[in-house]
Amino acid sequence: MPDMSRRAFLRGAVLSKEHQFLGPMPPWLGEVAAETCRACPGFCLEACGEGVIRRHPEGHALAGAPYLSFREGGCTFCGDCAGACPQGVPRGRPRIGTAVLHRERCLAWNRVICMGCMGRCPEGAIVLDERRRPFLLEERCTGCGMCISPCPTAAIAISFNHNGRFT
The CATH number linked to 153 is 3.30.70.20
Residue 22 near residue 54 (C-beta atoms within 8 A): yes
Split into its structural domains, the chain has a count of 2
What pLDDT sits at residue 30? 65
What pLDDT sits at residue 113? 92
Residue 15 near residue 79 (C-beta atoms within 8 A): no
What pLDDT sits at residue 19? 53
Phi, psi of 36 (to 5 degrees): -65, -45
Indicate the pTM of the whole model.
Answer: 0.77
78 and 146 both lie in a single domain: no
Domain containing 78 equals 6-84
* End-to-end Cα, the chain, rounded Å: 25
112 and 160 both lie in a single domain: yes
Phi, psi of 11 (to 5 degrees): -85, -5
What pLDDT sits at residue 109? 96
Residue 1 forms part of a structural domain = no
What pLDDT sits at residue 152? 94
Residue 91 forms part of a structural domain = no
Domain's final residue, options 60, 84, 108 = 84
Q: Mean pLDDT by 10-residue block, N- to C-terminus, for the chain (167 residues)? A: 40 46 78 76 93 91 88 91 84 83 96 91 94 93 94 92 43
73 and 110 both lie in a single domain: no
What pLDDT sits at residue 31? 61
What pLDDT sits at residue 164? 37
Q: Which residues of 68-98 are buried (b: 16+ CB within 10 A; e: fewer)?
A: bbbeebbbebebbbbebbeeebeeeebebbb
What pLDDT sits at residue 1? 37
Nearest to 133 by CA among 106, 154, 155: 106
